[in-house]
Chain A
Amino acid sequence: MEPILEVTNLSKNFGGLAAVSGINMKIDKGQLVGLIGPNGAGKTTFFNLLTGVYEPSEGLIELNVDNKKKQIGGMKPYKITELGLARTFQNIRLFKSMTVLENVKLAMHKNAGYGLPSALLRTSKYYNAERWIEEKACEYLQEVGLYRKRNELATNLPYGEQRRLEIARALATEPVILFLDEPAAGMNPQETEDLTQLIYHLRDKYKLTIVLIEHDMSLVMNLCEHIFVLNYGQLIAHGTPEEIKNNEFVIKAYLGEEI
């Protein structure tokens, strides 16, 4: 099977520090992929490279768009999003002054299909598009169970719901790959369980490939089909959860070595 995302020899240096160096990775379509590693291993930097926040110092990131490989390394974030790569943030970044519904509507921006003239003149195109956006946004909110809170300000939601809203917002960009940066951070076991179910459900319903960074090992081991382990900016292991559990490099990275 063709991989949907292929990373070749990807590096990022900040001055003399190699935050990410020489990473090779292939992600298959429809997979649930975990990315783990100790603090400071370069996971978020790696995410930021893939989503266009940083420009790679070296290496290729190739996304499979309509069966053609497209190099996306160094592209602007909004262009990468248009190609079908969406993300959530480790430190939640919702639009605080907007309502829950407006947050999702904003993300549907690329498919709105009308421009400034229609907006200013309020043509029928504008009304039809706005109606469609509203319906579709409500659909996404139902998916994550926030429909009833659609008119509340995003900032007034409890923490767990803000995380779910971020997922709904990312979904609304109609991605093929969804990147979740620590989706379960700060959640209690029940919320984590609900999140696991939600991720399975979304993957199946929207035919998504999901990549997640997570520190909650039980979640990663349960959910992910393939796991990549980073340490000091390098890929030290990858494989199924079973293989990772028994990998000696991974154990060393997490528990340290005997002296």
Chain B
Amino acid sequence: MAKQLYSKSNMIWAVLVIFIFSLVQVLISMGVINSYYESTIFTICINMILAVSLNLIVGICGQFSLGHAGFMAIGAYCAGIVTRMIPNYGGMILGILIGFAISSIAALIVSIPTLRLRGDYLAIVTLGFSEIIRICIQNMKITNGAAGLTGIPKLTTWPILFVALVVSIIVVTNFIHSVPGRAALAINDDEIAAEAMGVNTTKYKVMAFVVGAILASLAGSLFANYFYVLNPNQFTFNKSIDILVIVVFGGMGSISASVLSAIVIGILNMYLQQFTDIRMIIYGAALVLMMIFRPQGILGNWEFSIERLLKKRAAKKEAA
């Protein structure tokens, strides 16, 4: 086991990850990245977690979900409420864990009845579900209703966010390259054949959905502890669509695509902020152009893999 864990490709990944982490960390502490750019980077990273987790549900398992903002809201409010009471890292962890529990229970309630069916029922149900969550939040005392929560301690730092991001990506990639992941891919390809090969389709659809929901809740918690204000209007249907756009823009079924696409759209948004009036128009036009010229997304289902690169190099050496 150790040999495979410490394989060359994994080591290169580790170096790459540490390099990116230290680069941003150094730039932040040197003041090169001011708070404006920092908030852009943090938004991009949170969107990456959301996009990667939604990709697991939509791209890998082929179940169309329109309620990702609902799970994000659960995580955000859990973290917000708990850290306001216990304003330290213990409170943050507790908030995240409570978010996990509530979002996974909610995901089970939504998915077990709907995922037994084939087709687009899930899209309708998740759409309704995330609205229910939002309206509950709007009318509850503990969430301070429509006014929302303020003064949430700012606990999400770059190291915490980056670790959460890396862990989320590892969770999703490990899921894909395992028995449950293959089952999810097979369900996406041909549900009848998958079932005939002994795959309990409902079980694996629910599994992918719950893992996705938990990661969305994690993203929500980190969001709450960075932007320190929460109100229900941040988690409307539009937010779910924003996440879906990142996934579709990058390419369904590819994790590297979701990561890349979150960066591209994040930067695009940053520059378009100056043109508030025409921002949505440019944004929409870019998407339409994308759908005409490259409907499978930037990367399609192509996945960046260091292992494959190494193999190619080895093959070239052998040939030379």
Residues of A bordering B, CB below 8 Å: 51, 53, 76-78, 81-82, 86-87, 89, 93-98, 102, 105-107, 109-110, 112, 114-116, 119-124, 126-130, 169-170, 173
Query: Binary interface profile of B, 119-134, with partner A (CB < 8 Å = 1, else 0)?
Result: 0000000000000000
Given A115-B180, A130-B178, A170-B197, 9 other A-B residues pairs in contact with their CB atoms under 8 A = A78-B197, A78-B198, A94-B193, A95-B186, A95-B190, A96-B190, A114-B179, A116-B207, A128-B1
Residue pair A106, B190 in contact (C-beta under 8 Å) = no
Measured in the bound complex, the distance between the Cα atoms of B1 and A127 in whole Å is: 6
The 3 closest A-B pairs by CB, nearest first: A119-B178, A124-B1, A81-B198
Residue pair A98, B179 in contact (C-beta under 8 Å) = no
Q: Which residues of the other chain, A, contact B188 by a CB distance below 8 angstroms?
A: 97
18 residue pairs of the A-B complex, CB under 8 angstroms, read A78-B201, A93-B193, A97-B301, A98-B182, A98-B185, A106-B182, A106-B183, A106-B185, A107-B197, A109-B179, A110-B198, A116-B178, A116-B207, A119-B174, A119-B179, A119-B181, A120-B171, A122-B5
Q: Which residues of the other chain, B, contact A98 by a CB distance below 8 angstroms?
A: 182, 185-186, 189
Q: Which residues of the other chain, A, contact B192 by a CB distance below 8 angstroms?
A: 53, 93
A97 and B5 contact, Cβ closer than 8 Å, known pairs A114-B179, A120-B175: no
Measured in the bound complex, the distance between the Cα atoms of B211 and A115 in whole Å is: 14
Residue pair B189, A97 in contact (C-beta under 8 Å) = yes
B22 lies within 8 A of chain A by Cβ: no
B194 lies within 8 A of chain A by Cβ: yes
B199 lies within 8 A of chain A by Cβ: yes
Partner of A105, one of B5, B171, B182, B207: B182
Residue pair B198, A82 in contact (C-beta under 8 Å) = yes
Residue pair A109, B198 in contact (C-beta under 8 Å) = yes
Q: Which residue of B lies closest to A170 (CB)?
A: B197
Residue pair A77, B182 in contact (C-beta under 8 Å) = no
Q: Which residue of B lies closest to A122 (CB)?
A: B174
How near does chain B come to A42, taking the closest CB pair, in angstroms?
Answer: 19
Q: Which residue of B lies closest to A114 (CB)?
A: B179
Partner of A102, one of B182, B190, B198, B200: B182
How near does chain A come to B7, taking the closest CB pair, in angstroms?
Answer: 11
